[in-house]
Structure 1
Amino acid sequence: MRRRSVLTGFAAYALLGSGTVLPAVAAASGRRLNEALETVPGLTVVGEHTAPRGFRFLELDFVQPVDHADPASGLFRQRLTLLHRGFERPVVAHTSGYDVPEGPFRAEPTRLLDANQISIEHRFFGESRPNPVDWNELTIRQMAADEHRIIRVLGEVYRARWITTGASKGGMTAIYHRCLHPHDVAGTIAYVAPNNVDNERDHYDEFLANVGTAECRAALTALQRQALIRRDELVARLRARAASQGFTFDRVIGGIERGLEMSVVDTRFAFWQYRGLTDRDAIPATTASTDAIYEFIDATVGFSFYTDQGIRPYVPYYYQAGTQLGWPHVTPTELEDLLHHEQLLHPRGLVPREIPMRFRPHVMDRVDRWVRYAGQRLLFVYGENDPWSAEPFRLGPGTRDSAVRTVPGGNHGSEIAGLADEQRRQAIAAVRRWAGVGEEASLLDAQPFLPGLDDRPMPHRPL
């Protein structure tokens, strides 16, 4: 379908801002999906793609202001996808906190509720980037306003209850939206979402010093030290790979040796984030070949991750971490005598120098206080061995109908399905109650596992 012009989108934005009631679509269940979506100002159906039987999968874009407080700031198109199940079903609004995957998939709440799913690309990621870029408009407030407008207009098409969800940075994004627009949806499920409320006094070092077993931690440290001792051999392998695959290290991080050190230092954190005790035997011994050490670090961290090409898609995240979200302060004390570079893995070193950054330490404090004193219908799910769980959201005296749950032995892919039996039943019952589909539930009540929708691998991202 042909895209609407930005001028048309601007008129739609003006219509929404004026308080004008959207065209009536109460009878949308009896009409074609495309016709219902065509009634939404600023929304374009870009195309439809193959989906399993009983579903429709559409790619959409939606016109948003660059600055929601200033309609004259310009417009950009935000990419969405829609997995349609039925107009009468609940809706799960999902964000990864990054870009939107190309194909159809179901987040866990979507499967548990047999729901529709709107996936929202975070502003400044993927295709959802204003031109020109004003980095001052990449804030949690602006993204929350993006979600608010999307839920408002599509809520006229889908009248059942809405739930928001996301994992990692997506879970954080969902909570920020609820903090700033608490009445938009019936509930929020945030998976493995860190809460760096006091960026100068975090607990990541303490967590990494105690996670798993002492034997596994010692093996990881020995592996990291051996990698730094064999620095020249590893750099030679990395240089050959960079030459063959077109990788560079000079644009952002400042050289191939710095890129190698970043990967080695990050190995411990990434091992617990993406792998875990079940992979203890995969850690090479200090007597292993250099190839084995290289391959393990590459499989755990990915040497390409700290190339200019690997960093580029995630510059918006590093910018957010260095201005509002905060970041882990991990001190590689056990490696310091072998390191040649300082401030490894600091956000400032992962954002091009021409982009100014200033950290605002009180932004996360406001969100934290909202959760503890005003939050309602929130479910936080963490993994016991995931380093990001070192700084979790915590409930407080004003939090209502909410819970924080931890998956035993879980990593950064932890979900409700991994909780202990009673906690799992309680969590599913709460989610279904919030969505208005009944309180009693077990995993057997959920929509069955569907290959192609429910088997998306855990993405490898900075957070």
Structure 2
Amino acid sequence: MDMLKKPPYSLFFAFILSLFLSSAGYAEQAPAQDILEYLNGVQGMEAEELDNPPDGYRYILIRYEQPVDHDNPAMGTFKQRMVLLHKSAEAPMVLATNGYNISVSTYRYNLTKVLNASQLKIEHRYFAESRPDPLDWQYLTIKQAATDHHRIVQAIRPFYSGKWISRGASKGGMTAMYHRRFFPNDVDGTVANVAPQSFGRLDPRYVTFQEEVGPRACRETLKRYQREVLKRRETMKAYIQTYAAENGLEFNLEGGLDRVLDLTIGELYFQFYQYGDLENCKDIPAKDASDQELFDFMLAWGPLTFVTDSGLEQYEAYFYQAITQLGYPRLLTSHLRNLLMYDPNDYSAYVSEWPTQPFDHRAMWDIAGFAAMKSTNVIMVYGDIDPWTAAAFFIPDSNRRGTRTFMVKGGNHGSDILTLNERDKSRAYSMLEDWTGVAPQDPPLMLRSLSISKDSALELEEEGLQRRPL
């Protein structure tokens, strides 16, 4: 953790220079220089080459000094963490805007594989290592984060002559679109998977979606399951306590295990469709199932481990953003009302202190206006059973603007370009070729990551969290 400090004058001038370069364009020719040497020559950047890269790549860990407040660099700095998989200066670059923390790994996203591209994966400000110290939440905004990404592009893109495509899934896709809103020319195109746009706290569109998703019989069976768990409250609390002791977990949430149970079961319905498949409907325990069967299903599909002390601390930054700018869904809980002790829609459980500022309604409407009327070269992908699709971005299909939204039939929150049907995938690949000059190719089946399931490694790598919305 880097202590807050005054930035050197060189950082300030580098910041001013980056703003000038944003309107000056990029060098067409990559410099005849080694990538590691280049990165370490950037003011405020530290790069370290790591072992065991994928074949044909170099594997580099980067930390880049960023202003806490881009409008006032004198406020101090923090170091933002990135992982670069460098293929060549001429190959396309996939700019992976992760909305949370990142893992330091050689994982390549499907888009990277499809384009045989280099990949730059970025940790979001205020997560994991990329945190100012002390934390001042007022600087955790979509514009500050977009400017982080802008400075990174300005610093690294001059080395590369290939085209740049940003990508992200869920909150990472949202982050990619926010970056495009404030700096639309930083990249040549964007692929945003399952990215929602909520309008306010407790956006009601999600309830409408949850009431209609999938077969009615499955919805009713899932609701009966939720009610049965809550009817066995004391037994389920005992199971949670035993599970915590066996796995070294701590639950010190205000309201105790009653609140832990209510939050977990209240959100389970949403997560079942978010991460599941309609085939999973047959696995929902019956009303007369054993206590162990009820608990095992809750463990598989509910966010139980997220409301541990460590889980809440790790993702407090997301909830701060949701409460102040991003918005969040209203969960379908009306059928549980007489059995709940705590409201699963009460987000005060997820932050150590409720933000003092009111919700900024202008932020998402501004993004929505850009997406609908001004965005260019954007592919959006959604799954039709994923509850986050209730708040899908509205971007009209336009050949002139190079924009199209694709829907994956039966797709969940793991929907991406490789889960599209062959016709839609062909259209998407044609768009990518127009943007990059590179003909996309399907990766070998063994290298594909196609969906997020209840225990998928992709989910942990892609989102950086443990089966949690966004």
TM-score, scaled to structure 1: 0.91
Q: Give me the whole-angstrom Cα distance separating, in 1, the residues matched to 2:442 and 2:44.
A: 34
SS in 2 for 1:155: helix
Distance 1:453 1:230, change over 3 A: closer
Q: Which residue of 1 aligns with 2:391?
A: 391
Q: Give me the whole-angstrom Cα distance separating, in 2, the residues matched to 1:323 and 1:6.
A: 24
Q: Give me the whole-angstrom Cα distance separating, in 1, the residues matched to 2:397 and 2:110.
A: 29
AA aligned opposite 1:384:
D
**Contact persistence 1:196–1:202 (CA under 8 A):** no
Q: Which residue of 1 aligns with 2:453?
A: none
Q: Give me the whole-angstrom Cα distance separating, in 1, the residues matched to 2:9 and 2:63.
A: 16
Q: Give me the whole-angstrom Cα distance separating, in 2, the residues matched to 1:333 and 1:246.
A: 34
CA deviations on 1:39-65 (whole Å, 9 max, x unpaired) are: 222210134131222111111100000
Q: Which runs of 5+ in 1 are unaligned?
A: none
SS in 1 for 2:100: coil
CA deviations on 1:317-337 (whole Å, 9 max, x unpaired) are: 000000000000124111111
**Contact persistence 2:323–2:355 (CA under 8 A):** no
CA deviations on 1:88-108 (whole Å, 9 max, x unpaired) are: 101111022000122111122
**Contact persistence 2:36–2:49 (CA under 8 A):** no
Distance 1:192 1:453, change over 3 A: closer
The aligned length equals 453
**Contact persistence 2:27–2:158 (CA under 8 A):** yes
2:381 is the alignment partner of 1:375: no
Q: Which residue of 2 aligns with 1:425?
A: 426
SS in 2 for 1:156: helix
CA deviations on 1:154-207 (whole Å, 9 max, x unpaired) are: 011122211111000000000000001111111111100001135565311111
Runs of 4+ in 1 over 4 A off after TM superposition: 3-9, 24-30, 198-201, 396-399, 449-456
Q: Give me the whole-angstrom Cα distance separating, in 1, the residues matched to 2:173 and 2:16.
A: 31
Structure 1 residue 461: Cα displacement: 3.0
Q: Which residue of 2 aligns with 1:168?
A: 170
Structure 1 residue 5: Cα displacement: 11
Q: Which residue of 2 aligns with 1:411?
A: 412
Q: What do you get for the CA RMSD once the two structures are aligned?
A: 2.7
CA deviations on 1:353-377 (whole Å, 9 max, x unpaired) are: 2754531112100000011111111
Structure 1 residue 383: Cα displacement: 0.4
AA aligned opposite 1:115:
A
2:321 is the alignment partner of 1:320: yes
Q: Which residue of 1 aligns with 2:287?
A: 286
Q: Give me the whole-angstrom Cα distance separating, in 2, the residues matched to 1:453 and 1:48.
A: 24
Q: Which residue of 2 aligns with 1:207?
A: 209
Q: Which runs of 5+ in 2 are unaligned?
A: 451-455, 461-466
**Contact persistence 1:321–1:347 (CA under 8 A):** no
AA aligned opposite 1:367:
I
2:314 is the alignment partner of 1:307: no
Distance 1:218 1:162, change over 3 A: same
SS in 1 for 2:337: helix
Q: Give me the whole-angstrom Cα distance separating, in 2, the residues matched to 1:431 and 1:10.
A: 41
**Contact persistence 1:167–1:193 (CA under 8 A):** yes
SS in 2 for 1:19: helix
Distance 1:11 1:59, change over 3 A: farther
Q: Give me the whole-angstrom Cα distance separating, in 2, the residues matched to 1:91 and 1:28.
A: 13
Q: Give me the whole-angstrom Cα distance separating, in 1, the residues matched to 2:16 and 2:143.
A: 21
Q: Which residue of 2 aligns with 1:13?
A: 11
Q: Give me the whole-angstrom Cα distance separating, in 2, the residues matched to 1:355 and 1:291.
A: 39
CA deviations on 1:264-308 (whole Å, 9 max, x unpaired) are: 111110100111212122211111111111011101124221122
Q: Which residue of 2 aligns with 1:104?
A: 106
**Contact persistence 2:397–2:405 (CA under 8 A):** no
AA aligned opposite 1:300:
W
Distance 1:159 1:410, change over 3 A: same
Q: Which residue of 2 aligns with 1:129?
A: 131
Q: Give me the whole-angstrom Cα distance separating, in 2, the residues matched to 1:40 and 1:253.
A: 46
Q: How does 1:178-197 map to 2 (within 5 A)?
A: 178-197=180-199
SS in 2 for 1:458: helix
Q: How does 1:57-456 map to 2 (within 5 A)?
A: 57-197=59-199, 199=201, 202-250=204-252, 252-342=253-343, 344-353=344-353, 356=356, 358-396=358-396, 400-438=401-439, 441=440, 445-448=441-444, 451=447, 456=457
SS in 1 for 2:48: strand
Q: Give me the whole-angstrom Cα distance separating, in 1, the residues matched to 2:272 and 2:8.
A: 47
